[in-house]
Chain A
Amino acid sequence: MAILSKDEAQNILKKVLSFSTADECEATLSGQTGGNVRSARNAISTSGAVDNVQLSVEARFGKRSGVATCNEFDDATLRRCVQRVEEIARLAPESPEYMPLLGPQQYLDGSKAFVQSTANITPDYRAQQTAASLNLCEKRKLTSAGFLNDTAGFTARRNSKGLEAYQPYTSLEYSVTVRTPDGTGSGYAVADYNDASKFDAGRLTQIAADKAAGSVAAKAIEPGKYTVILEPAASVELLSNMMESMDARAAGEGRSFLSKKGGGIKKGEKLFDERVSIYSDPSSADLPGRVFAGDGRPQKRVAWIEKGVVKNLYSSRFWAQKAGIPDLPAPGGWIMEGGTQSVQDMIKGTAKGILVTRLWYIRAVDPQTLLYTGLTRDGTFYIENGKIKHPVKNFRFNESPIIMLNNLEALGKPQRVDGNLVPPLKIREFTFTSLSDAV
């Protein structure tokens, strides 16, 4: 049941709309199927499966609205769902931020987001991939803990104004932490895909295992400002936090890093090094994404930061209209332009610095400056004269991505991580404020 075709999904939605007597009605059908395997201490610890389809209906009378959901699709249930949501909508207060439903929209071709091989994943496949990771670690006398999760799903939407949308998608995420049995070394690898045929748990485990073995007997060096090479798994969360802070309303209300002194927003201002360009593009071959947002607006190629200049902020439809700015939904994933160098190339070009595999427990310290704190984890190494010299103990950092993207030394070849394309970044004067004994 979970993956309905476009026709199957739209036929249910047409029926829902036909039962409605509201001024406006919109229905969304979504489904997911998939599974997961978790391992720890070189054994499978838990496994699970998900299979679910859900219908959401919104009815509106003037500026009053109500929403209902159900998970059975016979005529009687659908009719009852629509009737009840209309009763609720009639009783609701008027919304001061009412926007009429969208009419017909043009969407990009989203077919690349769905890959049949991922939708075909079986429990045996998950067990085999996990076993490959566990066996490799056992042979090397290391300890593995990992998590494999795959999903195939679809979203379909239709409303009384003529909007019609459908997109299937697939995804697979895997992460693995490998530790030495005495707990003195730890390594990590992570990846995500639309296409499971590109996934190889053994290859990723090899990377984590090498880092675990190489991080034993880490030396303590003084905290302070260092040149760092942040692997994509290290920088992605800081950059995602910054992207999620680009809301036009918060900026307009004076409570964002993009708010201007005296009022207004920093759109059009150069806030970063001119090599910083971040955009979203659901039709990217390397990062095929959702072609419509949660409210039905089209997701298109949008430049958010171009050559260091803030080009666009995302916004609700209400705020976009009120503020007179482009009506852009928040992106599903983002792409930061980079160069051609690998992490190894970047290490070769570094006289003194620190290679960071991963940053952990990142929390906002000051939303005004986007200052974040967190720690290095699972593979932190000192670089000298173009080579990794020795592992170093982990650090706590206090740093802002705004400052970081002004202290840019070099960008490497973007890699896919956590649903984004992120280049390795070489940053000068990255601020480490204390040492951690954690491995």
Chain B
Amino acid sequence: MKRRDFVGLTSLAAGALFLPGIPSFGGTLVDPERLLETVDPALKKRLADAALNAAKSAGATYADVRIGRYLNQSIFTREKQVQNIASGESYGAGVRVLANGNWGFAATNTVTEAGLAKAAQLAVAIAKANAKVQKGQVNLAPQQGYGEVSWKTPIQQSAFEVPIAQKVELLLAANAKALDNGASFVNSSLFQINEQKYFASTDGSYIDQDVHRIWPTFGVTAVDRASGKFRTREALSAPMGLGYEYLTPKAADKIAGPAGTGLIGYKNSYDMLEDAALAAQQAKGKLTAKSVTPGKYDIVLDPNHLGLTIHESIGHATELDRVLGYEANYAGTSFATLEWKAKKQPYGSKLVNIFADKTQPGSLGAVGYDDEGVKTKQWDIIKDGTLVDYQKIRDQAAIVGQEESDGCCYAQSWQDVQFQRMANISLKPGQQKMSVDDMIKGVDKGIYIAGRGSYSIDQQRYNFQFGGTVFYAIEKGKIVGQLEDVAYQANTQEFWNSCAAICDESDYRLFGSFFDGKGQPSQVSAVSHGSSTTRFNGVNIINTARKVG
């Protein structure tokens, strides 16, 4: 099968070329109808065998092949108009081999038996060339073959099956809600992803997977021309491993936020119109909100905010490739070295239990098997405040004396080599019954923070600073009004050791990062972080207001 000769297209308004500020997924722009197509697994098996046989004939001791159709659609609007709609497809195959003890990788978009065989031969040639200048050898954890298996994200409705007009209508309706509630400007967007991935290896696996993700979001801006002040409130949706059903709001998925805020937490479905209306009111509220007095506060963090703090201060810090130095030139290393772990120093308070997982339904990281053919699982990272494990893949397990991968290997497309990526890293809910209002009742001087804002952390994951989307002052157990200019600065270990209370499971929700970057050349991946609302005591709050001009 040869797909290079297809013609792609996009529709509506101006094309992406006119919109340099707007992110694009890449791939070839295609007819939206094309996003509904699939490739026959029997054909993919024949193609995969051609690659594996060619690799073995050329001298590979191990080979895997990933044949992937990576499909995406993004819709951008502002106020009453559509800015851009783009549907993309990227189809090809990547072959990874071990030869003379070293990795080699090559990719091709000529998806024919001959094309894949040629890529396999090139991968072996690269592995052999690298082996000449390398001193060590790859030690790959053994992996059983699964035979012919398949997995699909448990969605109710593919977002690609929903007419574009219906999706545009939803975004424009959300914009109208924001404008009706006093927004000066509103930008909204909808990102949809489908990865049709076929993995095969010389271990004897032939794994066909159909992975779906979705992210509706917006930014609402209020401008006060007289004072020259402007403030933006971002959506409180989460990118999810769900289909279009995420955009059909269900009462059972709504969790009331703290009394006095009007906020609503969303579980497995999202009410975009409701959130857009509240966003406009809160954006206006931010224009006149009290500027925070810096100092120590007890902070209460909503799951839609805390997820990013977990991501940066625990998720990245416990990736074994960072710990070992493979990311030293880009994102950096980690304080949580093998030596540090051996000392069993407290990462957090006894309440802190963090687990990694690649299986939670609705999460961005959920797949049946990772991109090197390992069945996914859930495992502990921090138990009762102590670091107990890392996130690792097949060529890292032996380095820490383990015998199997954790199943968190991923490549953003067929043309990129797979490497260790963050699993869903989540905080276990509190064991005792506690709602967010129960939690706030116990806070004398505090700040409640929801949504993601500015975030920055050092290259070894010690010192971080986080803002948020909305802030509320807590005084004597009650929310007393919006705050502005808030950011907290902390050290990872001090922060997690100040964890004083966690709401129960009924408050548990997922936060997500759709475009987590790592590696050189940089690759993105999508990952979720679950938590319930959590309290941290005595955290350093700074005031971020400045006067310029």
Chain A residues with CB under 8 Å of chain B are: 28, 36, 38-41, 43-48, 54, 56, 58, 65-72, 74, 77, 80-81, 84-85, 88, 91-93, 95-97, 123, 127, 131, 143, 145-147, 149, 175-177, 179, 183, 253-255, 257, 259-263, 266, 269, 271, 294-295, 316, 330, 360-371, 373-375, 377, 394, 396, 398, 400, 402-403, 433-439
Bound-state CA distance A254–B82 (Å) is 21
**Cross-interface CB contact of B135 among A43, A179, A269, A369, cutoff 8 Å:** A43
Asked if B544 is at the interface (CB within 8 A of a chain A CB), the reply is yes
Let me know if B12 and A261 touch, CB within 8 A. no
Distance in Å: Cβ of A403 to nearest Cβ of chain B: 6
Contacts A45-B326, A177-B329, A360-B458 hold; do A262 and B15 have CB atoms under 8 A apart? no
In the complex, the answer to whether A374 meets B456 with C-beta atoms within 8 Å is: yes
Contact A145 B328 (CB under 8 A): yes
Least distance between A173 CB and chain B CB atoms (Å) = 10
Select the stretch in B3-11, B347-355, B363-371, B401-409 that faces chain A.
B3-11
Contact B460 A375 (CB under 8 A): no
A40 to B29 CA separation, bound complex (whole angstroms): 36
Cross-chain contact B456 with A88 (CB below 8 angstroms)? no
Known A-B contacts A88-B9, A259-B230; the reply to A375 vs B456 at CB < 8 A is: yes
Distance (whole angstroms) from the CB of A328 to the closest CB of chain B: 14
Max chain B CB contacts within 10 Å: which of A45, A74, A179, A394?
Answer: A45
> Could you say which of B202-210, B218-226, B254-262, B372-380 contacts chain A?
B218-226
Q: Closest CB-CB distance, A153 to chain B, in whole Å? A: 15
* A48-B417, A262-B226 as given contacts; A437 in contact with B20, CB under 8 Å: no
Query: Which chain B residue lies CB-closest to A87?
Result: B9
Query: CB-nearest residue of chain B relative to A83?
Result: B7
Distance between Cα atoms of A436 and B494 in the complex (Å): 13
Question: Mask for B64-102, Cβ within 8 A of A = 1, else 0?
Answer: 000000000000000001100000000000000000000
| Residues of A contacting B143 in the complex (Cβ-Cβ under 8 angstroms) | none
B184 shortest CB reach to chain A, Å:
7
Q: Smallest CB–CB gap between B87 and chain A, Å?
A: 11
Which residues of chain A have C-beta atoms less than 8 A from B109's C-beta?
71
User: Are A377 and B135 touching (Cβ within 8 A)?
Assistant: no
- B329 near A371 with CB under 8 A, answer no
Q: What separation, in Å, do the CA atoms of A56 and B460 have in the docked complex? A: 42
Nearest chain B residue, comparing its CB with the CB of A436: B463
Question: Could you write out 12 A-B pairs with CB less than 8 Å apart?
Answer: A36-B521, A71-B4, A74-B5, A93-B12, A175-B329, A177-B328, A262-B225, A361-B456, A363-B455, A365-B465, A396-B465, A396-B489
Write the chain A residue with the least CB distance to B6. Answer: A70
Taking the closest CB of chain B, its distance from the CB of A20, in whole angstroms, is 14
On whether the beta carbons of A91 and B11 are closer than 8 Å, the reply is: yes
In the assembled complex, the Cα of A47 lies from the Cα of B325 at a distance in Å of 17
Partner of A40, one of B15, B31, B325: B325
* Residue among A92, A123, A373 facing the most chain B CB atoms (10 A cut-off): A373
Q: Given A48-B521, A143-B325 in contact, is the A67-B9 Cβ separation under 8 Å?
A: yes
Residue of A nearest to B453 (CB): A365
Q: Does any Cβ of A come within 8 Å of B42's Cβ?
A: no
